[in-house]
């Protein structure tokens, strides 16, 4: 089983709108170059949206592979937990990847490349960027099949710093 999910267009295009408005704001009051700066902001934002759509999540039998950027990383199903974060009046569900590993390639001209997996620090993945109804989709089905609870946990507060 392998399902590849890409970033949805709506979350990818929100930065486009923000960049366009920021680029057009200074010229709104000063001159008639609003259309040019708005066009510049839109083109810059669309380029960013296309770039963010290149990241992907692959749902496999063994775990979750997050691609995009340099190499991507992999996390087993037993090392994934669901967290709920509160941002003001809004709450978000995040997947907490506790023990992800990154694939490194070492190659030379005389032979085939060698691959090694090395652990990296834990990550949080905002899963609704990839799948709005993730609990009923392939990620929720795979988490349930491997015994991971879909009930979101509230993360414990960090230690107090004096």
pLDDT at 123: 83
Q: Decide if 49 contacts 121 (C-beta within 8 A).
A: no
The predicted model gives 34-50 an average pLDDT of: 74
**Cβ-count burial of 134 within 10 angstroms (0-12 exposed, 13-18 middle, 19+ buried)?**
buried
Q: How far apart are CA 83 and CA 20, in angstroms?
A: 33
The average confidence (pLDDT) of the chain is 77
3 state SS of 17: helix
pLDDT band at 2; cut points 50, 70, 90: low
The predicted model gives 2-17 an average pLDDT of: 76
pLDDT digits (tens, 9 = 90+) for 63-111: 888 887 666 888 888 888 888 888 888 888 888 888 888 877 777 777 7
Please name which of 139, 147, 58 lies closest in space to residue 103, comparing C-alpha atoms.
Answer: 58
Tell me the backbone φ, ψ of residue 41, rounded to 5 degrees.
Answer: -65, -40
């Amino acid at each position: 089983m392998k399902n590849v999910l890409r970033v949805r267009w709506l979350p990818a295009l929100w930065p486009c709108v923000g960049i366009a408005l920021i680029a057009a704001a200074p010229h709104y009051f000063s001159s008639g170059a609003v259309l040019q700066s708005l066009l510049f902001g839109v083109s810059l934002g669309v380029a960013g949206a296309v770039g963010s759509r290149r990241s992907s999540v692959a749902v496999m039998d063994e775990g979750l592979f997050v691609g995009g950027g340099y190499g991507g990383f992999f996390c087993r199903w037993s090392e994934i937990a669901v967290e709920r974060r509160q941002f003001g009046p809004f709450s978000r569900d995040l997947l907490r990847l506790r023990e992800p590993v990154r694939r490194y390639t070492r190659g030379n001209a005389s032979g085939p490349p060698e691959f090694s997996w090395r652990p990296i620090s834990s990550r949080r993945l905002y899963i609704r960027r990839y799948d709005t109804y993730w609990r009923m989709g392939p990620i929720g089905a795979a988490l349930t099949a491997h015994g991971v609870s879909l009930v979101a946990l509230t993360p414990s507060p960090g230690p107090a710093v004096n």
